[in-house]
Amino acid sequence: MKFFREKPDTRRDKLAVPLRTVLLSMAAFWLCYFVLATARGLLIGFEGQDELLVRRLVVTLASVAVTVLLWLLLRAFDDKRLGLRFAIAFAAALPASLLIAAINSNVFRAYEERAVAKMSEESGVRIRQDTAGNILVDIPDTPYEIDPSLPRDIKKAMEEARARNSNTVVIDRERQLGMMWLQLTDVALGRYFLLLAWAALYFAMTQAEHARAAERREGEYRRAAKAAELKSLRYQVNPHFLFNTLNSLSALVMVGRTDQAEEMIQALSRFYRRSLSSDPTDDVALAEEIELQRIYLEIEGVRFPERLLVDIDLPAELAGARVPGMILQPLVENSVRYAVSPVSRPVTIRIAAREEYERLVVTISDDGPGASDDGKNGGFGIGLANVKDRLAARFGEEASVVSGPAEHGWRTVIRMPLSRDDLHEED
């Protein structure tokens, strides 16, 4: 089992926010506008609510379409500085809001014209148009007050008519154009701030997505660095073992023990065929790891046929437990080097596994001489440090290694999370 995944395709990060999320944000944003505008119309009591509802829905859908166009522009600058992106949003939202206002004016024009005609009829005001395109408003002879809330051009036209003692207000083409732009500007300003609000929401989503992408990349870099560290530590094992074995082969050949040398070469071949067939960062079944150590001990048994004894205790239920490949090799090698090699009596190297509180515990022990006169043991050298570093890189603080003198000899105990083959296959 690999404990890290391959580095993902970072090209996916170029589209920071998924299209589905962008479209949903637009729909939700303009749906809120639709609901609020409808509620306002109901409170004010506009007539023809069904017609207004349909026309408002058309404007809402058109607003979503215009927002999509704005997004197509903004997304091209997703990787730019936030200040520049806001500047582009401020500039691009202006024509977009004018477009929405123009659509709004065209969609509601017929309704507004009917509403104005009805109001004029009720108030006795007659509205007509001359051949030059001027709008003429005939006001009743009764005195009237000019409503200060009326547009400036309308008030000016009414004041001019009153100054002429005329009951006809003339709205020429220039004033009509000014009124149209005034109306468009009024609607556009409201839509402008709505578009800016959505742009701010979009920028917040892109910043959050960029932050998540940065976290993913950082995680991948950390896992890649950890994998490189594990490979480096794993590769420290094989050359050391090979160096020792070649020295032993040389010694056997020199003393004429060719049969034993051939036996060692065959065992060495099996050992490397197994150990080199897997990725250095892969986990292997504990039974496979122990079998590899058994082959190693067969190799060393050629050198020490009378002195090296092996005792392996592997419960069947732990045979499929996952462990880092070659994790036991440095410890078993230390036992051969510092327990078997220095003495002339038989020494037993024992490998035992057990489960303890849902954790895997593996013990490598020997009944050799134990600590030397200065209180040190070879197990405290490169081999033990390699095992500790590999377990720390693989499991962090969830794994531990304790090594020291036993009642007879030396013992090293490894504790790590328990993960079995069946669980691994489900993953």
For residue range 28-66, what is the model confidence (pLDDT) as tens digits? Answer: 989 998 998 888 878 877 777 788 888 889 999 999 999
Neighbours of 315 (CB within 10 A): 12
CA 222 from centre of chain: 14
Note the pLDDT of residue 402.
Answer: 94
Domain boundaries, the chain: 1-122+176-223, 257-426
CB 419 within 8 A of CB 344: no
CB 358 within 8 A of CB 368: no
Tokens of 423: 């669980």
Round to whole Å and give the CA distance between 33 and 28. Answer: 9
308 DSSP β-pair partners: 347
Q: Which helix (H) or strand (E) holds 150?
A: none
User: Where do the DSSP E strands lie in 73-149?
Assistant: 126-129, 135-138
CB 364 within 8 A of CB 350: yes
Region class of 273: left (phi > 0), else alpha (psi between -120 and 50), else beta: alpha
Note the pLDDT of residue 133.
Answer: 59
Type of residue found at 425: E
**Which residue in the block uniquely carries the two structure tokens 């408002």?**
56
Distances, alpha carbon 140 to alpha carbons 57, 154, 303, 307, in Å: 39, 16, 126, 128
Distances, alpha carbon 291 to alpha carbons 281, 294, 330, in Å: 19, 5, 15
Tokens of 141: 């002879």
Note the pLDDT of residue 309.
Answer: 95
Tokens of 296: 């190693």
Round to whole Å and give the CA distance between 90 and 74. Answer: 11
pTM of the model: 0.49
Distances, alpha carbon 2 to alpha carbons 80, 288, 361, 370, 427, in Å: 37, 16, 21, 36, 11
Neighbours of 209 (CB within 10 A): 17
Q: Class of 257-426 per CATH?
A: alpha beta
What distance, in Å, lies between the first and last C-alpha atoms of the chain? 9
CB 241 within 8 A of CB 329: yes
Note the pLDDT of residue 6.
Answer: 41
Note the pLDDT of residue 280.
Answer: 59
Q: Which helix (H) or strand (E) holds 121?
A: helix 82-123
| Long-range pairs for 29-34: beta carbons < 8 A, 24 or more residues apart | 29/67, 29/194, 29/197, 29/198, 29/201, 30/60, 30/63, 30/64, 30/67, 31/60, 33/60, 33/63, 33/194, 34/60
In our burial notation (b when 16+ CB lie closer than 10 A, e otherwise), range 158-173 reads beebeeeeebebbbee
CB 407 within 8 A of CB 363: no
Note the pLDDT of residue 381.
Answer: 61
**Which residue in the block uniquely carries the two structure tokens 């004010």?**
44
pLDDT in tens, the chain (427 residues): 444 444 444 444 455 688 888 999 999 989 998 998 888 878 877 777 788 888 889 999 999 999 999 999 998 888 888 889 999 999 999 999 999 988 988 888 777 667 656 655 555 455 556 665 565 566 665 555 555 555 555 556 566 666 666 666 656 666 656 666 777 788 888 889 999 999 999 999 888 888 887 787 776 666 655 665 555 555 555 566 677 778 878 888 888 888 888 888 888 888 777 766 666 567 889 999 999 899 889 888 877 888 999 999 999 999 999 998 888 988 998 898 889 989 999 999 999 999 999 999 999 999 988 764 444 444 446 678 888 888 888 888 899 999 999 888 999 999 999 987 654 444 4
pLDDT digits (tens, 9 = 90+) for 275-291: 666 665 678 899 999 99
